[in-house]
Chains A and B, each alone.
Chain A
Amino acid sequence: MSNLRGKFAIIGTGEVPTGRFPEKAAIYHAIESARRAIEDAGIRKEDIDFVMPTASLYNPAFNTELVTCRVIEELGLKNARTNCQIFSGGSSGSCFIKLGGSLIAAGVATCVLCVHADRLGTGVTAQGGIDLFSTAGISPEWEVPYGQHYSSIAALATTRYQHETGCTDEQLAAVCVSNRRWAELNPNAYFRKPLTIDEVLSSKVLSTPLRAKESNMLFDGGSALILSAADRARDLCEKPVYFLGEGSRVTHYVFSQEPDVTRYGWRGAAKDAFTEAGLTPQDIDVAEIYDSYPIFQIIAFEEVGFCKRGEAGAMHLSGDTWPGGKIPTTTNGGMLSQGHTGAGGGVALLVEAARQLMGKAGERQVPGARFALETGTGGTYMDAHVSILGTEIF
């Protein structure tokens, strides 16, 4: 919970397609996403005074470019006074808006450019990606020696959740189908062909019960957001997206120290966010839930309050989360279908939440969306961030 309710707004978003682009340098994704966000907001590039890049995982040299102000120089952001990296893994998007918004509320910044870019699709090999994600965020003393990996982490969460709730393999596969339905409508998504439950269930097993089509895939990509004070936002752009509330919790560093791998910190984080916003889950029109594997979408969906525990699987199977459903969920297709770009998987969800509220989501636009909930989680699901955004301050 913060005292930032109604103090700042997202005024523009930019995104490049997610995919494999061997001919494009990593910085391209940052520059182009930022350029599109500036154009979308309709501001002058000279209006930006603070730049927040998130971190790149694929290459320390590129990460250094982000740290050492390359985006500012490339775009000629002549009035940018500060460039400062913000990074909390998959929850970096959630932290972008909280920290950027705090700087605006405190008078340190007036217009903040938040930008993510990475090149995990062509910058690392397939086995290199597996090896990266058997060490990044995994304890080198207590888990790496046992062959831990993000697939086994997702599988450990899935096994226990199924044991406690009776959620079926078919219901888990339905998360992939639901997100693909949205990705079919998203020109920036990598996977856009229709997907069936049978195709998911017949894909090869990675770590029981997790299957290949239930795993995110790593790609190149980028996205960006522009923040400004709420009272200036309406003058700067047509349809600002106001920040209404946030909550967060941290529940572990080493995954095996997590006291409840079927819950994490979502409930407390959501309670704080809804209290600050003055809303309930029934008021939310669009839910952008972090989905690197189906189990994490199911758990967060339940814990933030969209249904009772054990019911999320059935809702994803019946179409409640699909286009035209009761609670449109992860409407860009998520990391399972748009593709995972490192810290950018979460930033992309935030960009999508803002696009939906601005009425700029194209074929997948949720008609009349007023309130959106976004979740972000980093590393091995160690933190839980919930943000609530709206088209108005009420």
Chain B
Amino acid sequence: MVNPTKPLPVVNEWARPFWDGAREHKLLLQRCSDCGKYVFYPRMCCPECFSSNLEWVESSGRGVVYSFTVVETNAPSAFLQDVPYVVAIVRLEEGVQMLSNIVDWDSTTLKCDMPVTVTFEKLNEEFTLPKFKPI
């Protein structure tokens, strides 16, 4: 059986700098120049104060696991070859949340609120996905 290729992110124009950054192993967030709030995922305007003055800043890449699961069976077709894999919601130090995968994991130490740091996994020449590993 041929494994379907991994789904690539369907990119919105205003989010392009995020994916350009990931390719260079930088985790970029937006920060609102008017209210100071960090924003993820990238928006056209600040979801807090509606300002259009959003600047790109590099995240520390550190955060904690808000929640996680080990996908063991019934994965989407393109991920059947990867089971078991870990899907997690990570809360970054900057106060934003994102979905990702935990790599280099060990089922005995995976837990809520465990500290993690960003790492990068190349999908193809265009896309690199930010993922997280335990600290």
Contacts and interface: CB of A to CB of B under 8 A. Distances in A.
Interface string A123-139: 00001001100110001
B11 to A, nearest CB: 6
A160 interface: yes
Nearest to B19: A141
A208 B105 CA distance: 14
B45 interface: no
A145 B70 contact: no
A254 B75 CA distance: 19
Contacts of B87: 146-148, 152, 155-156, 207
A205 B73 contact: yes
Contacts of B79: 147
A55 to B, nearest CB: 21
A256 B89 contact: yes
Contacts of A254: 41, 99
B74 A149 contact: yes
A140 interface: yes
Interface string B90-105: 0000000111110000
A157 to B, nearest CB: 7
B120 interface: no
A34 B111 CA distance: 49
A137 to B, nearest CB: 14
Contacts of A331: none
A149 B71 contact: yes
B98 A210 contact: no
Contacts of A210: 69
B98 A256 contact: yes
Contacts of B129: 145-146
A145 B75 contact: no
B117 to A, nearest CB: 17
Interface residues on B, range: 35 or more
A144 interface: yes
Interface stretch (B2-10, B28-36, B52-60): B2-10
B69 A141 contact: no
Given A127-B77, A130-B74, A140 B67 contact: no
Given A146-B100, A147-B101, A156 B68 contact: yes
A282 interface: no
A147 B82 contact: yes
B109 interface: no
Interface string A369-380: 000000000000
Contact of B99 (A151, A159, A256): A256
Given A156-B67, A256-B97, A134 B6 contact: no
B73 A146 contact: no
A358 interface: no
Most B-side CB within 10 Å, residue of A149, A209, A210, A259: A149
A255 interface: yes
Contact of A206 (B9, B72, B82, B123): B72
A207 B69 contact: yes
Contact of A142 (B41, B75, B111): B41
30 contacts: A127-B77, A130-B74, A130-B76, A131-B76, A135-B76, A140-B7, A140-B9, A144-B9, A145-B123, A145-B129, A146-B99, A146-B100, A146-B129, A147-B71, A147-B75, A148-B87, A152-B87, A156-B67, A156-B68, A159-B69, A160-B66, A160-B112, A204-B73, A205-B72, A207-B71, A208-B69, A254-B41, A256-B89, A256-B97, A259-B97
**The 5 A-B residue pairs with the shortest CB-CB distance in the complex, in nearest-first order:** A155-B69, A134-B76, A256-B99, A160-B67, A147-B79
Given A139-B41, A163-B112, 8 more contacts: A140-B9, A141-B10, A147-B78, A156-B67, A157-B67, A208-B70, A254-B41, A259-B97
Interface of B: 6-12, 15, 41, 66-79, 82, 85, 87-89, 97-101, 111-113, 123, 127, 129
Interface of A: 127, 130-131, 134-135, 139-149, 151-152, 155-160, 163, 204-210, 212, 215, 254-257, 259, 261
